Amino acid sequence: MASGYAGGYLYGITLEAEGNSYINTIAPPQTLNGIVFRRSDTTEAGFVYDSPATPNGIQFRTDSYHSRVLLTDIGYLGIGNINPGYILDVNSRMRIRNGGDIFNTAGIWFNNNANIEAAFMGMQDNTHIGFWGQAASSWKFAMNTATGALSINGVEGTPNNALTSMGPGNSPEWRPPTKFLYDNTQMKTQTADLNMTSSTPALIIPNLSFTFTVTGNAKVIVSSSLCVIQLNNLIAPNGSISVDLQLNGGFVTRMSEDLDKGNVIILRNEFIVSVPAGTHTIRLVANTPPQDLIIYGSGAFPSNVIFKVIPE
C-alpha cells in the first residue's frame, strides 16, 4: 500500500491520499469471499462473492453489512432485493432524471424485435408524460400532469368529448359521445300515398324501410308516425288499421288503431328491436284493412319513421 505515493504503481491494492484516508480489510462475520470495510464506529460494508444465499453472485453490502444490491451469476441485477427475477429487478419506487434539455427528458426507450428503437415512454415536457411513436415521429398519447387532461395526437379534445375508437389500423379520435347516434339516426319519409281497400293484399309502405349493418349486438329504436284517413263512405262503419313491424322479413310486432271515417288520424308507435352483428332490414307492412283508407305520403304531414341504431 502507499499513502501519498505518486510513483509507479505495483500490482495489488494501492491507496493514495494526502489526508487520513485509509482502507481496513478485516475478517467478515462469516466465512465468505470478498472485501469488507469498517469505519471507526464499526459500521461495516463490502463486496461479497459466492454467498450461500446467492451462489456465484456478488452482493453489495452497506450499513452494518446489509445486502442492498445483487448481481447474480446469470446477470440479473437486484436493487433492494437478493432474488431478482429479471435482468433488472427493483424494490419500491425508482426515479429517472431529466438529462438537461427537451431532447433528453426523463424516460425509457423500447426497441422492437429487430432491436431498433420503436417507442419512448416518459416526459414530453415539464407538464406532460406520454408515449412517443418513432415510426410516426410524434407523441401519440400523453397526460397533462397538472390537469389530468389526455392528449391524442397532440389534441386534448374539447369539453364533453369522449375518446372514440376508429377501428383497427386507425388512430382514435375525440368525438362527442352522441356522434355514433348522430351518424346512425335516419328518418325515412313515405314517398307516395298508399291507397288500400278491403281486397288489397298486405303491402310494404313505400320508403319506410331501413337497411343497416352493425359489427356487434345492437338495439334499434323505431319511432313511426303514420298519417291515415278512412274514406268517407256513408254506408261503411268506422274501420281500423294494423301495421306490422318486420325484421329481415319476419314478424316483430303489430300496431293498430281504430279509424274515424272522413277524419285524419296519426298512428304513432315506438318499439325497440334487438339485432345481432350483420346486415338487417326493418320495414313496415300495412295489412289488408276492413274499409277503404289512405296512408298519406304527400301533403303537409307525410308518414315517416325515425330509426336510431345503438350498439351494445
What digits encode the pLDDT tens for the residues 226-236? 999 998 776 66
Our CA angle for 193, 194, 198, nearest 5°, is 145
Q: Do 203 and 156 share a structural domain?
A: no
Q: Do 221 and 302 share a structural domain?
A: yes
Is residue 203 included in any domain, yes or no? Answer: yes
Q: Do 111 and 62 share a structural domain?
A: no
Among residues 183, 152, 170, which one has the least CA distance to residue 161? 152
CA 140 to CA 171: how far, in whole Å?
A: 9
> DSSP 3-state assignment of 152?
strand
Is residue 118 included in any domain, yes or no? Answer: yes
Q: Do 298 and 211 share a structural domain?
A: yes
Give the range of the structural domain holding residue 143, as residue numbers without chain letter.
Answer: 106-175
Q: Do 77 and 33 share a structural domain?
A: yes
Q: Do 209 and 126 share a structural domain?
A: no
* Cα–chain center distance at 100: 33
Q: Do 73 and 125 share a structural domain?
A: no
Is residue 15 included in any domain, yes or no? Answer: yes
* pLDDT of amino acid 88: 95
Note the residue count of the chain.
312
Q: Do 293 and 196 share a structural domain?
A: yes
Q: Do 198 and 142 share a structural domain?
A: no
Is residue 101 included in any domain, yes or no? Answer: no
Domain-terminating residue out of 27, 59, 94? 94
Lookup result for grid cell 256513408: 234
Domain-terminating residue out of 156, 175, 194? 175
pLDDT grade for 18, boundaries at 50, 70 and 90: low
Pairing of strands 77-79, 88-90: parallel
- Report the chain's mean pLDDT, rounded to a whole number: 87
**Amino acid (1-letter code) at residue 221:** I
Average pLDDT over residues 3-31: 50
Q: How many domains does the chain have?
A: 3
Q: Do 232 and 153 share a structural domain?
A: no
* Cα–chain center distance at 10: 64
Is residue 251 included in any domain, yes or no? Answer: yes
The CATH code of the domain that includes 212 is 2.60.120.40
pLDDT grade for 1, boundaries at 50, 70 and 90: very low
- pTM above 0.85? no
Is residue 264 included in any domain, yes or no? Answer: yes
Task: Specify whether the CB–CB gap between 221 and 272 falls below 8 A.
Answer: yes
Per residue in 254-304, pLDDT (tens digit) is 999 998 888 899 999 999 999 999 999 999 999 999 889 999 998 878 999
* pLDDT of amino acid 156: 87
Q: Do 208 and 119 share a structural domain?
A: no
Q: Do 297 and 187 share a structural domain?
A: yes
**Amino acid (1-letter code) at residue 308:** K
Is residue 41 included in any domain, yes or no? Answer: yes
Is residue 51 included in any domain, yes or no? Answer: yes
Domain-terminating residue out of 175, 194, 224? 175
String of b and e for 234-253 (b: at least 16 CB within 10 Å)?
eeeeebebbbbbbbeeeeee
Among residues 293, 283, 306, 308, which one has the least CA distance to residue 227? 293
Among residues 28, 1, 3, 29, which one has the least CA distance to residue 18? 3
